[in-house]
C-alpha cells in the first residue's frame, strides 16, 4: 500500500489546463446569466493558457512556429483584457455574482491547491535550463565593472541581486538533465544558497498574493467571500501552476497587490510601490497613476514612501558592490538606464520575421496610455486605481524586451479582484485618508467686530 500512495507524479501542464479550466467554469460561471461580463472574463482567463502552453512547448522543442503562435495568442487575449480594464470604470452597475460554492468549500479548495503548489516548489530541483540565467548573472557579477554593462543588455532592468536566483520550473513539459554537483565546494554551497533563497522567496510571494487578495475582499470590498473566490481562481489558473517558483513573476505582483491593500496608508503604499520598482523596474510606470490618485490628499506621503524604498535599495547595492564602478553599473541596471533599441531582445520581438523597430511605436502608444490614465478619469476611486494599475502592468507586456507577455503575475491578482469587485465609487482619497503630515493650521481671520475692538 505504501508503494502505491507515495508514487505521486506531477500533473502534465496540458492535462492541468483541461482539469483546472473545467473546475473554474463549474465554480464561477453564472449559468443563469449567460451574457454577464463575469462569464466573458472567465472565458478570457481560460483562453490565456493555450498561448502559454504553446510558448513553453515551443521553447522545449525549439519550434519558432509554436512560440510565434503562442505569443500572438497571448497578445490577442491580453489586448482584450487591456480594453476591459480601461473601460472598467464606466461599468457602474455591478451586480453581486457570487461563486457556485460555499465559503467553506472555497477555503478548503484554496488551501488544498496552495499546499500542492508550494510542495512542488519545495521538492523541485532547478534544472540546467533554469540555472542558465543565474549562472550568467553570477559570471557577470564576478567580472570587472567596465564590462558589467553587458548584464543590463542581456538580462534587462531590475535589482541585480534578484538575477542571481535560479528559476524553478514546477511544471516542465520535458525534463532536462539536472546539473551535477560542482567540483568547487564553494560554488556548490553558493548554488544551494541561491536555490534555497529562491524557494523561500517564491513561497513567501505566493502566500502574500493569496493573503492580499483575501484581505482586500474583507477590508475594502466588505465581502471576504469575494476575496477568497478571487484567490481560488488565481490558484486554479494553469499559469500559476507553471510559474509558481518564479520569484521575478510573483514578487512584483505581491508588492503591487499589497500596495492596493494599503492604499489608505499612502506612505506604506509608496514603500511597496518603490520596492516593486527597484525589483523589476516596470512598475515605475504606475507612478503617474498613483500620484494622480493621491493628488488631492496623501501625495507627499506617497512620494516620501517611494523615495524611502528606493533609497534603501540603493544603500543595499552600495554595501554589496565591490567598488564604486560596479555600484554605478548595478544602479544603472536597477533604474533601467538604457535606450530601448540597445536591449538584447528575447521572446516575441526576437522571433524571425518581426522587425524590432515596430516595438518602438508600441512603446510610444503605451506611454500615451499611461499619461492619459494620469489625467482621466478624475477623481479616481479605488476601483479606478485597481483597473488602471492592471492596465498599465498589462500594457507593459506588449513592449517588454525579455519574454514580454509571460509575466502575468504582475497584473493577474489585481485583474482578478477587478473582475469580482463591487462598486467602489465612494473610495476616493479625500474621503478615506487622514490629513497630511506637518500641515499648518491657518489662523482664521478675526471678525470685523474683533478688529474694531
**Residue 443 contacts by C-beta under 8 Å, 6 or more apart in sequence?**
none
Terminus-to-terminus CA distance in the chain, angstroms? 99
**pLDDT (tens digit, 0 to 9) for every residue of the chain, 453 residues total?**
445 666 667 788 899 999 999 999 999 999 988 888 999 999 999 999 999 999 988 887 778 899 999 999 999 999 999 999 999 988 888 888 889 999 999 999 999 999 999 988 988 877 666 665 665 566 555 544 444 556 677 778 899 888 888 888 777 665 555 555 555 666 778 788 888 899 999 999 999 999 999 999 999 999 999 999 999 999 999 999 999 989 999 999 999 999 999 999 999 999 999 999 999 999 999 999 999 999 999 999 999 999 999 999 999 999 988 888 888 888 988 998 887 777 888 889 989 878 888 999 999 999 999 999 999 888 899 999 999 999 999 999 999 999 999 999 999 999 999 999 999 988 888 888 877 766 544 444 454 444 433
pTM of the full structure: 0.91
**So what's the pLDDT on residue 447?**
47
From residue 188, alpha-carbon distances to 145, 312, 330 in Å are: 25, 30, 25
**So what's the pLDDT on residue 34?**
86
C-beta separation of 245 from 119 below 8 A = no
From residue 96, alpha-carbon distances to 38, 150, 221, 423 in Å are: 10, 52, 11, 10
C-beta separation of 401 from 419 below 8 A = no
Name 381's bridge partners. 428
C-beta separation of 256 from 250 below 8 A = no
**So what's the pLDDT on residue 173?**
60
Q: What's the gap between Cα 17 and its chain centre?
A: 21
Write out the three cell numbers for 251.
514578487
Q: How many residues does the chain have?
A: 453
Q: What's the gap between Cα 338 and its chain centre?
A: 22
**So what's the pLDDT on residue 183?**
53
Amino acid at each position: 500500500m505504501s508503494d502505491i500512495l507515495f508514487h505521486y507524479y506531477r500533473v502534465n501542464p496540458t492535462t492541468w489546463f483541461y482539469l483546472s479550466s473545467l473546475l473554474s467554469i463549474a465554480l464561477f460561471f453564472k449559468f443563469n446569466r449567460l451574457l454577464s461580463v463575469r462569464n466573458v472574463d472567465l472565458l478570457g482567463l481560460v483562453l490565456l493558457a493555450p498561448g502559454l502552453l504553446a510558448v513553453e512547448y515551443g521553447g522545449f522543442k525549439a519550434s519558432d512556429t509554436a512560440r510565434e503562435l503562442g505569443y500572438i495568442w497571448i497578445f490577442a487575449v491580453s489586448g482584450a483584457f487591456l480594453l476591459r480594464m480601461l473601460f472598467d470604470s464606466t461599468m457602474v452597475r455591478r451586480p453581486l455574482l457570487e461563486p457556485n460554492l460555499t465559503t467553506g468549500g472555497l477555503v478548503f479548495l484554496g488551501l488544498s491547491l496552495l499546499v500542492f503548489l508550494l510542495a512542488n516548489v519545495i521538492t523541485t530541483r532547478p534544472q540546467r535550463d533554469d540555472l542558465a540565467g543565474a549562472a550568467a548573472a553570477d559570471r557577470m557579477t564576478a567580472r570587472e565593472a567596465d564590462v558589467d554593462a553587458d548584464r543590463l543588455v542581456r538580462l534587462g532592468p531590475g535589482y541585480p541581486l534578484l538575477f542571481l536566483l535560479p528559476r524553478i520550473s514546477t511544471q516542465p513539459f520535458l525534463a532536462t538533465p539536472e546539473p551535477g554537483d560542482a567540483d568547487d565546494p564553494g560554488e556548490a554551497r553558493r548554488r544551494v544558497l541561491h536555490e534555497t533563497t529562491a524557494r523561500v522567496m517564491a513561497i513567501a510571494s505566493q502566500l502574500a498574493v493569496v493573503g492580499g487578495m483575501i484581505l482586500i475582499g474583507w477590508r475594502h470590498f466588505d465581502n471576504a467571500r469575494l476575496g477568497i473566490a478571487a484567490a481560488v481562481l488565481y490558484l486554479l489558473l494553469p499559469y500559476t501552476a507553471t510559474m509558481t517558483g518564479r520569484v521575478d513573476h510573483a514578487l512584483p505582483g505581491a508588492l503591487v497587490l499589497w500596495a492596493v491593500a494599503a492604499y489608505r496608508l499612502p506612505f506604506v503604499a509608496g514603500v511597496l510601490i518603490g520596492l516593486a520598482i527597484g525589483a523589476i523596474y516596470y512598475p515605475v510606470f504606475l507612478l503617474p497613476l498613483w500620484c494622480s490618485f493621491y493628488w488631492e490628499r496623501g501625495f507627499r506621503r506617497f512620494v516620501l514612501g517611494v523615495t524611502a524604498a528606493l533609497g534603501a535599495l540603493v544603500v543595499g547595492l552600495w554595501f554589496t558592490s565591490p567598488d564604486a564602478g560596479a555600484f554605478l553599473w548595478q544602479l544603472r541596471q536597477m533604474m533601467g538606464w538604457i535606450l530601448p533599441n540597445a536591449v538584447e531582445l528575447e521572446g516575441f520581438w526576437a522571433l524571425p520575421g518581426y522587425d524590432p523597430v515596430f516595438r518602438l511605436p508600441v512603446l510610444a502608444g503605451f506611454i500615451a496610455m499611461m499619461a492619459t490614465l494620469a489625467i482621466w478619469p478624475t477623481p479616481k476611486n479605488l476601483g479606478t486605481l485597481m483597473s488602471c494599475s492592471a492596465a498599465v502592468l498589462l500594457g507593459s507586456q506588449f513592449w517588454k524586451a525579455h519574454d514580454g507577455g509571460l509575466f502575468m503575475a504582475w497584473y493577474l491578482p489585481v485583474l482578478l479582484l477587478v473582475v469580482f469587485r463591487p462598486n467602489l465609487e465612494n473610495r476616493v482619497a479625500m474621503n478615506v485618508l487622514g490629513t497630511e503630515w506637518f500641515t499648518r493650521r491657518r489662523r482664521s481671520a478675526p471678525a470685523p467686530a474683533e478688529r474694531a475692538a
